[in-house]
Every structure is written in C-alpha cells, then in structure tokens.
Chains A and B, each alone.
Chain A
Amino acid sequence: MNIYVLVKRTFDTEEKIVVSGGKIQEDGAEFIINPYDEYAIEEAIQVRDAQGGEVTVLTLGGEDAEKQLRTALAMGADKAVLINIEDDVEELDQFTAAQIISEYLKDKNADLILAGNVAIDGGSGQVGPRVAELLGINYVTTITNLEIDGTSVSIKRDVEGDTEVLETSLPLLVTAQQGLNEPRYPSLPGIMKAKKKPLEEVELDDLDIDEDDVEAKTETLEIYLPPKKEAGKVLEGELADQVKELVQLLHSEAKVV
C-alpha cells in the first residue's frame, strides 16, 4: 500500500507565545511534530506493518522542518519529502498549502493519505480535506479507529463526543483524532536508521507551480496576545459563607447565572 502522511512542524505545546512587531517570535522556541500528526504517522506505520507497502511523510516548509521529518523517519516511516517553499512563498494560507501539496501528490497514486485533524498553531483543520478534494478522493476527518480490508475501509470517527461508524473505500484521506492510537517514541536504532533513509527536497519549480497561482486568498493583518486577566478573587472565611458569596457574585456581579 502506498501511504502518505502530511505533517507540520509546530511550536511545542509548552512554549510561551511572545509577540513582537505583530509576529510570533520563534527565536529559541522548541519545535515539534504537530501532536495530531503523530497519531497519523503511528497509524500509517501500523497499516504498513499489517498490509505491506511504504510510508512517505511529507511536509511543506523550510529547511528547519527536516528535523521533524527525521523524527518521523525514526518512528518508522520509510521516506520523507520536504516541499521547500522558503524562497518562493512569502505569505501562505490554507489555500496555498493545499494547492502545493496536492500538486505534488496528484501523480503519486496514494492509496491512503493521513494527516492530523488540526494543527495546534494555526488551528484551522483545512488542509487535509482541501487536499482530498483537489485530488478527487474521499476524506473522513477526526477518526479514532481505522480498519482496512482490501480496498474496503471501516472507520470510527469522533463527532463532538459521539462516535460515528462508517464504511468507505480506498483511495482515501483521513485525519487523526486523539484516541486513534498511542504514538511510539523513536527508538535508538530507529534514530540511527533514519539518518540513512531518503529525504527528498522539492521546490515550486520542480512542481511547475507559479507562486502567483497559489497566492494566499486571506491575509493576516495582526497577531496579538489576549488581554492579561486581572488576578481573580480567592474567597475567604467559613466554607459555607464562601459558597454563598460565590453564588451572589456570579448572580449579581458577573451576571452569568
């Protein structure tokens, strides 16, 4: 089976966000594979191990993203592709990303494409379904279980807490929700092997893409931090009085009940 995983390099979840000059400061920040993409990588490896085939991890970004691709290779992916847009694309949005990724994938005959259901930085969850639509294949988002039998696929997906059980077929794009699996850590031998695994780098020219054709449809005007919350009021006194006071405050001061 020919499997692709779309991964994104993101800020570590523990990182404090610093904004300066209307931009997020990246200097010194730790970067990781988007946590939801880790579920996608793990699932891809498990499917390959059960069904045979090859797992290719693909990312869109700059030279820096090589580290995350090597981590995915160390987990067990077979090949990696970096679509390096560093020099060509100044502003990108989900439209841009999906157009470029699908242009790369269009002649690859992927049976299964996996991605995280959302990236924890941009948080839009668009690129996966957009790519599927551009490739003309079906997609299922926020999956928590995947079973493949020939070209038949049984899936469980999370729908705001409910579980939807559905059937579809390959080729298919799925996006991973938490609960799909427990992503493995790269093993030491895995890390050693990853250094020798193929990592292909392509640019827009290689894909015959003119950057004007993939120009972002949306524009970020400003990035800012939420207003700092003033320190809250920790109540004091007898517990019973505190509870009474809290209910009064919520009712009369905050007016939320």
Chain B
Amino acid sequence: MSKKVLVLAEAREGALRNVSYEAIAAGKQISNGGEVVSVLLGDSVQGLTAELGKYGADRVITVEHPHLKQYTSDGYGQALLAVIEQENPQAIVFGHTALGKDISPKIASKLQIGLVSDVTAIEGEGDAAVYIRPIYSGKAFEKVKVKDGIEFVTIRPNNIAPFAKDDSKSADVSSLSVDITNLRTIIKEVVRKSSEGVDLSEAKVVIAGGRGVKSEEGFAPLKELADVLGGAVGASRGACDADYCDYSLQIGQTGKVVTPDLYIAAGISGAIQHLAGMSNSKIIVAINKDPEANIFKVADYGIVGDLFEVIPMLTEEFKQLKVNA
C-alpha cells in the first residue's frame, strides 16, 4: 500500500538544512509510491519552497506566523498538529536535529503513537519498512518496526542520501493559516557559538582535536584544514575539559554524534566514549604521536606523527589537490 508521508523541512539562518532533503528521500521510500508532503514553518519562508520541489517533494505546505520565527515547542506543536490534522498522513519524518528531537516526542505523545528516533537507515518500503537505529551509543544497532498507527521517525542527519537536485521538478505549494497562541516559552536570545563555518552534525568532513592539541591556539591549524575541505572542527572531551575549546564542539557519548564522510582525529587517543560519537563515520583518519593509541584501531588510515607537523602539510597538499582538480 502506498502512503502519504509528511516530512519536516528545517531552515537555519534563512537557508534549508540538508536534512530537509534527506527527509524527503526517506519519505519517498516509506511512501512506496505515495505522496511526500514537505512542511515548512517560519515567519517568512515562501522563498525556500522551490528548493523542496527540486529535491523531490510532491507538495509543500507552509505555515507562516510571527510566532514561528523562532522555534518553541508550543508554536511548532500547534502548527504541525494543524497540518497533520488537515493532511492525515500515514507516516511522518523529521530530522533528528535539536529541533526534531525536541518537538517529535510532543507530537507523538499528543497523537498517542510510537516514534522511532535517530534512524540511520531504512530497509524495505511502505508497510514493510524497517528502521535501523544505533543503540548503546553506536556500539550496537537495532531494527525496529512500527506495529500500528502512524509511522513516525526522526532521521539522523548525514545518513540517508537525498535525491539529486532536479531543476525541472517543482512542487505544488499551499499555505495553511494557523492561530498560534499561548506560548509558554519566550526566547530571549540565541548566543551563536557554532555559527562560523559548517554545522558540525551535518558536516561532510570533520577535523577533531584532542588533548594533543595542547592549547586553544592549537586548534588554529585544524580550523585551517577544515576551511580548505569545507568541513567543521570538533573535539574530544579531553580537549574540552582542558578548556582548549568550547563544549559545543565535543564529540562523543556525551556531546555530539557525527557521521561524516571523512573524520580526521588529531591528537585524540580514542577513548571508548569518544569512539561512540564518531565510529560510524565513513572514513576515519588518525594522526597521533603514540602508535599504540586506541584510535588507530578504528582508523582506516593512520599517520604516526606530530599533528602540528602533519596537519599543516595536509592542508597544503589538499590545497594543491584543489588547484589541480
């Protein structure tokens, strides 16, 4: 049976996040030939609807309201429940982002349905869809299916490939007017710490530093390499605890879980808690002075050496590669 699938599009700083397109692709698979409806919320989002069509959404529904300029669970909850009521979907896909993690349990609870969080892969289509998700911080995986009711899942960014952009495609766009009232949370301020550069959880390349980075300044060469590769800088708990960087960069069991195409661990020993946050990356490169460091056990490629020598050389070499490409 084909399904109508509602997928949430997420904008950040006026641009759609990749996970919006990944959710469309996941939605298509779950729909088994049915319709994928992308929902976009905000105070002014009309300019973003065309992109969703190009990435495969059949329809786009916008809800615009001044109270949706900033995310609150009450505001988004009211808007999304109104869309769900109108559309009556058989499946729903959100990104497993800060926003998706916060709002999805509220919606699931309100609708009295199950929710499969943090899905990294989907097997099968339609009614046969089975969701794969990491448990025990990625040390194991489980396959989950929804027994009855709406199939509601959140997908981990960077794991389900979006469709290639097709400029010839477009989606029907409609808007729904929702009265957003009685917000119990008032956002006073958002202090951006991660605004410079690429979002760590969505980055295709992550350059992470550990205690071996030795100081705040020690992160500079890592940043330079990240810039050349269009990636983001991350850190181990050790580096954060030592005050070399902000906790917002921490990757691991506590901290962020990342699954980039390329993870370069510089001066990171590879404690099990750190591995939990990055071991599912596609390719792992370890750079460490200690040849016995645990990180080499999970690395695809390793260089035994001083990161302060290796990283700048790598930066130069990648620059050359780009020039030649």
Contact = CB atoms under 8 A, between A and B. Distances in A.
A26 to B, nearest CB: 12
12 contacts: A123-B137, A124-B115, A126-B117, A129-B105, A133-B105, A158-B248, A162-B195, A166-B187, A216-B147, A217-B149, A225-B140, A247-B321
Nearest to B146: A218
Contact of B302 (A166, A220, A235): A235
Given A125-B117, A130-B109, 9 more contacts: A120-B137, A162-B192, A218-B115, A219-B145, A226-B139, A234-B301, A242-B310, A256-B204, A257-B229
Given A13-B253, A232-B284, A247-B314, A139 B73 contact: yes
A128 B304 CA distance: 45
B254 A165 contact: no
B243 interface: no
Contacts of A35: 253-254
A95 B137 contact: no
A73 B101 CA distance: 30
A36 B199 CA distance: 24
Q: How large is the interface on B (under 10, 10 to 19, 20 to 34, 35 or more residues)?
A: 35 or more
Contacts of A158: 98, 248
Interface string B103-124: 0111011101111111000000
Contacts of A168: 184-186
Given A140-B185, A141-B102, A219 B136 contact: no
B142 A223 contact: yes
Contact of A161 (B246, B279, B305, B318): B246
B191 interface: yes
Contact of A166 (B104, B188, B256): B188
B191 A246 contact: no
B200 interface: yes
A164 B73 CA distance: 13
Contact of B140 (A127, A130, A221, A226): A226
The 10 A-B pairs at the shortest CB distance, nearest first, are namely: A217-B114, A161-B248, A161-B194, A129-B105, A133-B109, A124-B117, A138-B184, A218-B114, A234-B302, A130-B109
A73 to B, nearest CB: 24
B140 A216 contact: no
B309 interface: yes
A163 B195 CA distance: 11
A20 to B, nearest CB: 12
Main secondary structure of the interface of A (DSSP, over half): mixed
Given A160-B98, A178-B254, A133 B302 contact: no
Interface string A151-172: 0000000111111111111000
B186 A166 contact: yes
Contacts of A224: 140-143
A166 B204 CA distance: 32
B115 A94 contact: yes
B296 A232 contact: yes
B262 A257 contact: yes
Contacts of A121: 135-136
B114 A221 contact: no
A50 interface: no
B273 interface: yes
Interface in B187-213: 187-195, 199-201, 204-205
A209 interface: no
Interface in A75-131: 93-95, 98, 120-130
A123 B142 CA distance: 11
Interface string A202-238: 0000000000000011111111111001011111000
Contacts of A167: 185-186, 188
B148 interface: yes
Nearest to A160: B98
B253 A95 contact: no
Contact of B313 (A141, A162, A166, A243): A243
A235 B138 CA distance: 27
Nearest to A222: B143
B32 interface: no
Interface in B251-272: 253-256, 261-262, 272
B137 A221 contact: no
B302 A138 contact: no
B35 interface: no
Contacts of A138: 73-74, 184-185
Interface in B275-325: 276, 279-280, 282-286, 291, 296-305, 309-310, 313-314, 317-318, 321
Contact of A133 (B110, B133, B246): B110
A233 B301 contact: yes
A223 B115 contact: no
A250 interface: yes
Contact of B106 (A94, A129, A159): A129
A134 B188 contact: no
